[in-house]
Structure 1
Amino acid sequence: MTQDTQPALASDALNRLFRDARTVHAFQPVPVSDETIRQLYELLKWGPTAFNAQPARYLFLRSPEAKARLRPALSAGNVAQTEAAAVTVIVAQDSRFYEHLPQQFPAYDAKPLFEGNAALAEATAFRNSSLQGAYLILAARSLGLDSGAQSGFDPGKVNAEFFPDGRYQVNFIINLGVADPAGIHPRGPRLDFDQVAQIL
């Protein structure tokens, strides 16, 4: 550790964020408040994105009526856990995120890079909104919530129901709440360092 390196987080914090955390498929009936949802965003928004673009957009579905709108798009195996979760977050990407770049990235005019290149804009929006969804999971864990990310849904149905003007497109969905211990499965193995990484 160099003189300028910050100390590592305590082991219990690392356990909560990584080692003991699970993808949750069952939730207890414990509500999540507006205040907690706002705290969650105030944490996740600081995660880095390319050009500080922040292309992710979030719909927090908490009411039974909002969940009912999502239900037809879910795969059968995801319905019960989504209905049980205190909040279900649709993580979407803004196809015109670059309109905010003059304010968010004042270093130089990066807007034309994306405005005239749909493929680059789409790839950038997808990659960085995926990152932001991961930041959301870690922020939720840091606030004492459990999460279950899912891709078992029909994107076309989600977009038609929640983003009919086409500007936003769903990336993935995250259920949030307090885990029901009965629904936590044993941890699956992880690949070893030497199987997936090299130091050059």
Structure 2
Amino acid sequence: MNQSLSPHVLDQLFRSARSHNGWLNRKVSDEQLHQLYDLLKQGPTSNNCCPARFVFLRSDEAKQRLLPALKGHNGEKMLQAPVTVIVAFDQQFFEHLRTLFPAYDAAAPYRENPAAAQVAALRNGSLQGAYLMLAARALGLDCGPMSGFDNALVNAEFFPDGRWQSNFLCSLGYGDASKLRPAGNRLDFATACQLL
């Protein structure tokens, strides 16, 4: 377990992977989505709280429901993608902690403190959204994460009871490399990091 992954695998997950805006006409199967979730759910969250929720939109009908919330060219990108995931979080995630983390009552800090629950749900749900993208890449899929959308419209359309809240969107499929823009730069270690 404690050995470095091969350069090829690191390239697939990080160095050569790109955020895609265009998609090939190849479907993503139910089996692939189940494999994707089975991988991403293993990523760590605080007290194993697992607050992320995933709504996989594949049908034209489902995508049309999402379309009014998207801004700019994101609507076109979403419609072309085989799958677009609403990465959301459950504000009442702590109701599952008895099962997910039986060591002690980890739900106690959240039951009477909605603000603390919101922070924990957003933070850990965002981590799980990142695990989704890495799991997708590990399975040979490409990703197109998006934040250019109206969260309130998405929540009203898909989560009217208010319990789940949208975080970000991520299209999945097989990217069309001919539509990629040049790769963006990244900050170097000296700019982004400190050693203390």
How far, CA to CA, are the matches of 2:178 and 2:78 in structure 1?
Answer: 16
- The share of aligned pairs that are identical, in percent, is 54
How far, CA to CA, are the matches of 1:184 and 1:138 in structure 2?
Answer: 19
Q: Where does residue 51 of structure 1 map in the other structure? A: 47
Q: Where does residue 198 of structure 1 map in the other structure? A: 194
Instruction: Return the match for 1:98 from 94, 98, 101.
Output: 94
Where does the alignment leave 5 or more consecutive residues of structure 1 unmatched?
none
How far, CA to CA, are the matches of 1:117 and 1:6 in structure 2?
Answer: 39
1:20 maps to 2:55: no
How far, CA to CA, are the matches of 1:131 and 1:122 in structure 2?
Answer: 14
Residue 107 of structure 1: how far off its partner (Å)? 1.1
Q: Counterparts of 1:1-200 in structure 2 under 5 Å?
A: 6-200=2-196
Q: Which 4+ runs in 1 deviate beyond 2 A?
A: none
TM-score (norm: length of structure 2): 0.98
Letter in 2 for 1:30: R
Residue 196 of structure 1: how far off its partner (Å)? 1.1
Residue 186 of structure 1: how far off its partner (Å)? 1.1
How far, CA to CA, are the matches of 1:113 and 1:137 in structure 2?
Answer: 30
Q: Number of aligned pairs?
A: 196
Residue 76 of structure 1: how far off its partner (Å)? 2.3
Where does the alignment leave 5 or more consecutive residues of structure 2 unmatched?
none
DSSP 3-state at the match of 2:73: helix
CA RMSD in angstroms comes to 0.8
How far, CA to CA, are the matches of 2:123 and 2:34 in structure 1?
Answer: 24
DSSP 3-state at the match of 2:54: strand
How far, CA to CA, are the matches of 2:94 and 2:4 in structure 1?
Answer: 35
